[in-house]
Each structure stands twice: as C-alpha cells, then as structure tokens.
Structure 1
Amino acid sequence: MLYGKMLYALIDKDAEGRAQIEYKPAKQIHWDGSNAHVIAQPKSDLDIEVKVDACLELIDYLKSEKPPSGVVLNKTKISLSPTKEYRLGHEFERTKEILGKGNSAGDIVVVKDKKTGQEHAYKTMMISYFRKEEVKCWVDMSDSGCVPALYLFKIENNKVSIHMEILKNAKTLRSIIDEHMAGFYENAENRSLVKPFSLYVLDGALEAVTQLHNKGWVHHDLHGGNVMVQKTGEEKLGVKVLDFGLARKLEDYNGLNYRGFHADIGEIVRLFSALYTGGLEFDNVLDLRKNWKDKLTEVTEMMKMNVDDRKELFCLVDAALKVVHPNQVEEYRQQVKTELGKAMGQSEKEIMRKVVAILFPEDFQPIHQDIEDSADAMGDFDVADSIFLSNHHDYMDHQGDNHDLDLEWTANQVTDEYLEMVRMTLGIDLH
C-alpha cells in the first residue's frame, strides 16, 4: 500500500499565449496499488471524479482499440471456449499438484485442459505487480530452447494469469547445490565428475544468457532458483532459465544496461563457483567482485584442490569478471568450451551418464519397473525383453536394502540413444 498526496493542475496562459501549468497539492489520500482493474469505492467528491474519469478512459480505450484480454501462444495446449474464454472450472481444471511459488504470485499449480487433456503450469499475480517486460522477454525467447514454453497469458479480474510448460525431469541449481552436490563427494570417482559437470552447466548457462542478450534483454534475477538443469536424455542435461519478472531491455534511452548485463554474468559465475567448489556461493554479485580471490583461496586450500584445478577456477572467474560488454561473451564462452573439452576428454558419454545417474537416480528404477509391469500384462515377450528384465533384477540386487546407488552399474544402463536425445535437446556441441 502506498500513501501520498494527490496533485491537481491549474492550466493558464502567459502574456505570449503559451500554456502554463501549476500543480497544487490536494488533501492526502490512500492509494492501494492492488485496486487496479477492480470496482472502485470513492471516498470523496474529488475521488469520485478521479475514479469515474479513469474508468471512462478505460472504456473508451477498449471500444476504440479493441485490445484482447489475453493471447494464446500454443493452440495445441489451450482449448478456448466458443466465446474465446479460458476459465478455471470450465475449460481447464486444477489438479492437486503444486510446483512452487513465483515472485509476488500465489502458488504455481498444475492444471489440465479439459479438451486436450494437456497439463501445464498455471500462476497468477496482481496486476499491480505485473510488468509487461516479463511477457515481452518471454515471447522473444520462445524459440531459443532455453526457456519453458509460454502457452497463454490473460487478464482475470484484477490479476494476470499465465499458463506455461511444465519442465519435467528438471531440478533447480538451488536444489542441486543444496541437496545433490554431496553425492559428488561420496568417493574419488564421483568427485572427478565435479569439474566437467560444473563446466557443462556454465557453458549451458552462457548459451542461455547469450540468447537472452541477443534478443535485447537482461534477466536481472539469475539466482539458483531461476536456473534449472533438465534431464533431456541419458547423457544430456539442458539448462533452462525461468521467471522474467525483473527482465529489462539490454539497451534503452540511457544506452547499454551495464548494471543488468554485469548482474547476469556475475550471477552465472556465482552458481558456477558453488558447483565447482561443492558449496562456496558468494552472498551476491558485489561480494563476488570484491572478495572472490580471498574466498576462493580459502575454500580451495581447505578442499586441498590440486594446483591445475585451482588455476583453472581462478582463471575462469577472473576472465568472467573482465567481461564488460555483450560482444565479449562469445570469446569467454570459447574459453569455457576449451576447458570443458579437456575435462571431458574422450569419455564424454561415460561422464555424463554418471552425472545423470547422480542427479536423477529416481528415474532408473521406475522406468524399468514400468517395462516389467507392461511385459507381465502382455503375458509373453521376446528374448530381448527377458534379458532386459534380468538386468533389471540385477539392478535391484545391486541396490540392496538401503538402495545405495551403484554409480558404475547404473551409468552402464544409460543407452547411447538416451544420451543423444539429451545432447540434441540442449544443443551444446562439445566437438
């Protein structure tokens, strides 16, 4: 809620006939930004005049310009009514699944289109919190492959609602840093995956940010909860960027938005350092820029990181912080790709299989179990099925009662086709 003073203007002419405007303060009034696009209840004669004029202006605009109340961007996911409406409880229904919370928004929930049966994510926010840049940036990025698809946005009473793609088999970098990095430090073999995985994510994040900047935008909010790693195949991980609520133009009437650009690059480096070191995450971009040498020195010494890895980490962070213009990003990314190629060597598939197995261990048993159940339902199956199910039972025997992950065995179950599907989805070429 905002409290302020209403100003009214007196318009007069000077001796030469030029307009003069004098602003006079009126009495203090209460203004609640959430009252946008709702029925007003004026509290004074002056307030009545202001509200009536504003409402009539809106009606005139609707009559003359005929703007739509929403836009469908994917007709295969959204089925409008004959009257071009899309309403909760009519054209789509809410499920019990909740995906999370957005900035200044309520729960992000899963809903289902009643006609197509397609499920998608649904969030709403007050019009007073909505920024048009969110949708403009999202639409511009729709063909980049780095963002979830936007299906529909529309006005609902005093709110804006957004229907979007559900990213399946995906985890935020926040959850990976907080919950899954420990799996990389269980033994020496797993620990050897940290560097290639960190560089892989850094390369994917740079690709997403490059696409964003090429479209003329800065994200301005690339924290760990707004960057996701999606399993798109058995040896492939895709990097997706979410939530464009704070997006701004890369260039405006003031020129290049250096603050937003530097924030995007800095946030990516913060996430990269947290992955590479297994947990060191700078407080913010300012902390990174001021204290990166001291903090990285301390944590790498404590970890007993070898000299080559420490040198690589310091060089990559230092080089990133020297990127001051969008036309320098590609050169930096080539540096990252060079280090990534060295880290992967000739074992890219094997490395990525193991990384996928650590991050998504829950996907292997259910997939195998579904196939076994389907085979049982069919009554008979061929020799290949028998061999596969035999391997599945071997997997269960490997797991034992405590279900600890046998990384080597699990990684061997990841097929070349699965890895190729992931690679094609992310679009990162390591060769």
Structure 2
Amino acid sequence: MADVEDRLREGIGKLSIPKKSEDSADLARNIANLSPGTQENLGVLLRSISNGEALIDTDSEGRAQIEYKAAKKIFWDGSNANVIAHPKSDPDIQVKVDACLELIGYLQSEKPPAGVVLDKTKISLSPTKEYRLGHEFEKTKKILGSGNAAGDIVVVKDRKTGQEHAYKTMMISYFRKEEVRCWVDMSDTGCVPSLYLFKIENNKVTIHMEILKNAKTLRSIIDEHMEGFYESEMTRSLVKPFSLYVLDGALEAITQMHCRGWVHNDLHGGNVMVQKTASDKLGVKVLDFGLANKLEDQNGLNFRGFKADISEVLRLFSALYTGGLEFDNAWDLQHNWKSKLKEFTEWIQMSVDDRKELFCLMDAAMKVVHPADVKEYKNFVKSRLDSAIGDVQSEKNLMKKIVAVLFPEDFKPVHQHVGTDYADATGDHYNFDVADSLCYHDIHHDNTDHHRDTVDLDLEQTANQVPDEYLDLVRMTLGISLD
C-alpha cells in the first residue's frame, strides 16, 4: 500500500497542483483512505494527465470532467495476416509491398522460428523441421471442446511416436502472446497442462498440448453432483468438508500462478480441473490462459486482476457450499455477496452454524486485497477444513460417504447382493467410465438422473461396503487428497 501512495504522491507532484483548501499531506491522506482498486485507477489517471493523454475540466456546476485525446482507429481484418495480399488500388499496392518486404527483412535479419517445440518426446518434426497435419501428425475422431476465438479442440496423433495430444487453432488476430508466456512460466508448477508445441501456420496460431486424463472440471462437479448432497440430512453433512477441500486446492493453484507473476482473469468452472498425478496424489490444474495478464506491470500491481482471481474461486466455492448459489461474475460477488447469501441460505434453510461459517469465510476473502494476504486466508481455510473433517470422524469415512452419494447407481447392486466377495473389486467391476475422460470435456457424461436414488440408500451401510481401492477413483476425479 505504501508503494501505491508513493506513486500517487509522485504523480501529484509532477502535476504541480496548486494549494487550495488542503495541502498535499491532506490530499495524500484522503487518497490513502480510498479502496485499492480506486487508488490504482487514480494512479492511471494521474499518469495520463502527466503525459498529456487526458485533460481535466469542470462543467457548469463545478464538477470534474475528464477528456481523453481521440485515438485514430485502425480497422484491420485479422484473416489477412500472413496470407497473400490482393491490393485493390495503386496506393494499396505500395502499402502491401512495403509491409511484405518489411516482414521478409525481419525474417532475414532476426531469423525468428515459426514455432517452438517444448517436448520433443511428444512431437516428431520432419527432417526439414516441419510439423504438418496429414504428414507428421493426423486427426482422430475425438473432439475435446471449442473456444470462442478458436475452432474445435481435437485429439491428434503423432505418426512416429503414436502419442495423442490436444490440437487447438486460432486466428492470429485473436492470439495474445501472454497466453504462451504465462503457460511457459507455469510449466514446472504441476498445475497446468503441458505445452508441447506452438507455431504459426498460414494465418493462424496452432497449439499442441497435453490431454488431461483422469480429470474432471469443477463445472461438471457443480452441475452434475452437488444437488445430490442436499437430498437428506445425512448427505448434507458432507457438503461443508467437501467444499472446503475444493476451496483449499483452488487457492493453492492460483497462489502458484500469482507467485509466477501472473493473473488468470478467466477462472470459471470449466477452466479448473482436478487430476490424479503419477505420484498417486491429486493435483489441481488451471486451463486456458487466453486472458492472462501480468500481476505487476508498468502501472504497478494489477489489483483488479488479482481480486478477480480470488473472487472467481469464491464463486465456485459458494456454488459448492450452498448447492446452487453461483454469483453472476466477480463484480456481483464483491458487491452483492451479503444480500444474496442471506436470501439464499434462508431459502434452503441452511443451519445457523453453517451459515455463520460461510459468511465468515466470504467476509475474510473480501479482505484479501494483496498477494501477501493470501497466506493468512489459506491458513484460515485449512483450519476450517480440519475442523470439518473432525465432524465426520475421519477423511476415509468422509470419502466413502461421498462416493456413495456421487455414484449411487454403482452401489445399488452392492447393497442388494451382500454375499458378493469385494476383496478383488476393481475399477472395471464398478464400471467407472470417468477414468477415461479427457481434458475440457467429459466424454462419458450420462444424463440419467441418479439424484433421487440417494434418499433410498442406507448411507452408513453402503459406505462401509465401498472398498478402499474405490477411493482412488474419487481422488482422481474430485480433487481430494487423503494424505
């Protein structure tokens, strides 16, 4: 905070603001009382005034008005980048020729690569260092998803190594270099998919990346599973510890990103996944860095982006904890969380103790305004998690009950045929399809409504019949570690 105040004082000094009803010390104190976001915006305004980009005037009632110099708008069709031009006039011929020769000159002098391989065990280049569809790799029939600016994200296969990976394309006009820079910086953290290759291909940027197997998005967990937790008093008791597990893991993931100097800016439920790692532990994975920005830039700390990341995690947590309340966006959460939580928790008749804890967790999160504040908040979340686990006797007991709620169709036969020997039970025995799920899309999604079956289960008896081996399936799909 002191750094912000110093920058503001410096900006005020450059403006040579004459003394009126208050001196510079009073002005600095008034600025210090503003919220961090307002201070950040004020700093941007002062710098704009200092370099002549903006002017402050007053209206007829003496109120301040800000005017910015008009910027010349350039209309550009991104589909024309890096393709052969067809000029429409003599002047346009000269423009296109100059631009193309400038590109050729840059390629000759700087010798930039057309792409970069980051994992040569997955990518097999041709002898001429090319990687072409239909030559070095081929498409499969699997589609993982699609993006707003990108086409379908599909599964492709390297013809030499036989390795499958995800293949994403986007127009150069939509591509942001921050996406790759952030991705590369995060590559050794263990909380992002591996980036294998990115390259320019005609007028597009293509990206080859890891397919996240044994993983599930928080979006699918919220949409497909949370309702079942609210169908009986016994299953309601699982909501608190389960939600706190997810909150704790998501906070750890974004802390890793912030420590590397980035904010994500798009942490919705489809961009956060949990996955079983090779070491038999659960890792939280963050996807899609198309809107990533630096945590600190020439304007100082990116308070807005940092706060948005925290708020997005809280949006996901509130949806899990309440079984339905998901705020519209970060702004909605920051400004309306008290009123909406009060109304919703009363409507679902949440217990007084759970309501107090939820409000306490949300209120403490709203006070996180700087990366230095996150550690204390994480410790608070961990303490509440430890307490919640104590309420359900043990982590293993908790997990077995969660399994029974999330997969009641798998355990109805178990409940009916109590004479079956389960000592040799495997994932195949329980027909667990999610183990083959792919990044960005649950290809084995079943629309059958299993929630109504939960009430008929004898939860204690069914949970006792869940083999320990089955817990590993939950760890790989729900982001919960039993360590």
Shared fold (TM-score greater than 0.5)? yes
Alignment correspondent of 2:440: none
In 2, Cα distance between the equivalents of 1:57 and 1:410?
72
Aligned residues: 380
Alignment correspondent of 1:97: 142
Q: 1:187 aligns with which of 227, 232, 241?
A: 232
Q: 2:106 aligns with which of 61, 75, 79?
A: 61
Residues 30 and 284 (structure 1), Cα distance of their counterparts in 2 relative to 1, 3 Å cut? closer
Residue 354 of structure 1: CA displacement? 4.0
CA contact (8 A) 1:234 1:418 kept: no
1:47 paired with 2:92, answer yes
Residue 392 of structure 1: CA displacement? 8.4
In 2, Cα distance between the equivalents of 1:234 and 1:177?
27
Q: 1:258 aligns with which of 278, 296, 303?
A: 303
Residue 353 of structure 1: CA displacement? 4.1
- Give the secondary structure class of the aligned counterpart of 1:273: helix
Residue 234 of structure 1: CA displacement? 13
Residues 113 and 391 (structure 1), Cα distance of their counterparts in 2 relative to 1, 3 Å cut? closer
Residues 392 and 101 (structure 1), Cα distance of their counterparts in 2 relative to 1, 3 Å cut? closer
- Give the secondary structure class of the aligned counterpart of 1:351: helix
| Alpha-carbon RMSD | 3.5
User: CA offsets per residue over residues 199-233 of structure 1, 9 Å max, x none?
Assistant: 11111111111011000000011111211233559
Residue 239 of structure 1: CA displacement? 2.1
Percent identity between matched residues is 72
Alignment correspondent of 2:469: 415
Q: 1:317 aligns with which of 349, 355, 362?
A: 362
- Give the secondary structure class of the aligned counterpart of 1:145: coil
Residue 357 of structure 1: CA displacement? 5.9
CA contact (8 A) 1:219 1:244 kept: yes
In 1, Cα distance between the equivalents of 2:287 and 2:158?
23
User: CA offsets per residue over residues 55-88 of structure 1, 9 Å max, x none?
Assistant: 1111111111111111111112111111111111
Structure with bigger strand share is: 1
In 1, Cα distance between the equivalents of 2:125 and 2:152?
23
Residue 420 of structure 1: CA displacement? 11
In 2, Cα distance between the equivalents of 1:115 and 1:179?
39
Alignment correspondent of 2:273: 228
CA contact (8 A) 2:404 2:463 kept: no
Alignment correspondent of 2:126: 81
Alignment correspondent of 1:388: 424
Q: How does 1:57-206 map to 2 (within 5 A)?
A: 57-206=102-251
Residues 96 and 202 (structure 1), Cα distance of their counterparts in 2 relative to 1, 3 Å cut? same
CA contact (8 A) 1:234 1:353 kept: no
1:348 paired with 2:348, answer no
Alignment correspondent of 2:372: 327
Listed as ranges, the gaps of 5+ residues in structure 2 are 1-70, 413-420, 433-448
User: CA offsets per residue over residues 36-67 of structure 1, 9 Å max, x none?
Assistant: 11111112222211211111111111111111
User: CA offsets per residue over residues 298-340 of structure 1, 9 Å max, x none?
Assistant: 1111122112111111011111111110111111111111111
**55-64 vs 227-236, greater mean Cα deviation:** 227-236
Which AA in structure 1 matches 2:466?
N
In 2, Cα distance between the equivalents of 1:421 and 1:223?
21
In 2, Cα distance between the equivalents of 1:273 and 1:416?
28
Alignment correspondent of 1:7: none
Alignment correspondent of 1:279: 324
User: CA offsets per residue over residues 331-377 of structure 1, 9 Å max, x none?
Assistant: 11111111111112251123234435655789999xxxxxxxxxxxx
1:243 paired with 2:243, answer no
- Give the secondary structure class of the aligned counterpart of 2:267: coil
Which AA in structure 2 matches 1:153?
F
User: CA offsets per residue over residues 218-275 of structure 1, 9 Å max, x none?
Assistant: 0011111211233559996432111000000001100001111111011111111011
Listed as ranges, the gaps of 5+ residues in structure 1 are 1-24, 366-384, 397-401
Deviation above 4 Å: which 4+ runs of structure 1? Answer: 231-237, 356-365, 389-396, 402-407, 419-423, 425-430
- Give the secondary structure class of the aligned counterpart of 1:31: coil
- Give the secondary structure class of the aligned counterpart of 1:122: strand
CA contact (8 A) 1:236 1:352 kept: no
Residues 354 and 42 (structure 1), Cα distance of their counterparts in 2 relative to 1, 3 Å cut? farther
Which AA in structure 2 matches 1:61?
Y
CA contact (8 A) 1:168 1:230 kept: yes
TM-score (norm 1): 0.79
CA contact (8 A) 2:274 2:479 kept: no
Which AA in structure 2 matches 1:255?
G
User: CA offsets per residue over residues 123-181 of structure 1, 9 Å max, x none?
Assistant: 10001100000000011111111111111111111111111111113222222222221
User: CA offsets per residue over residues 13-55 of structure 1, 9 Å max, x none?
Assistant: xxxxxxxxxxxx99x9963122111111112222211211111
